[in-house]
Amino acid sequence: MHIQINTDHKLVVHTAFADELRLLVENGLAHCSEHITRVEVHLSEEHDSRRCLLEARLEGRQPLAVSESGQSLQQAVGGAAGKLSRLISHTLGRATRATDADLP
């Protein structure tokens, strides 16, 4: 799973901090990582909060995206990773149920 971090013009993310954010995403999506080819992390600052938009590319599927705001980037990334994990699980579970329904 490749993780790409993008920031708006207001934020500067140094290498060590980017590695910490990647680890948050990896840990949050660990249970479904075999289905993910790439995750794009879009970080921005809005007024008094930080915003994280995560977009996951799944094998053979349309991208899935979620967003989360928080007081810190870690909080926003962690919250978004949790949301994305649930969305991927739901999407893959729904696809499995649909495939099982087609079986005789």
Terminal Cα-to-Cα distance of the chain (whole angstroms): 35
Residues 35-55, mean pLDDT to the nearest whole number: 93
In this prediction the pTM is 0.84
pLDDT in tens, 5-18: 999 998 888 999 99
Contact 73, 20 (CB under 8 A): no
Residues 56-64, mean pLDDT to the nearest whole number: 91
Domain containing 59: what range?
Answer: 2-102
Contact 52, 65 (CB under 8 A): no
CATH number, domain containing residue 49: 3.30.160.100
Helix, strand and coil in the chain, % to nearest 5: 50, 35, 20
pLDDT of residue 32: 87
pLDDT of residue 104: 52
Please tell me whether residue 63 adopts helix, strand or coil conformation: coil
The set of residues, in sequence order, having a beta carbon less than 8 Å from that of 67 and lying 6+ positions away, is 51, 52, 53, 54, 80
Domain count, the chain: 1
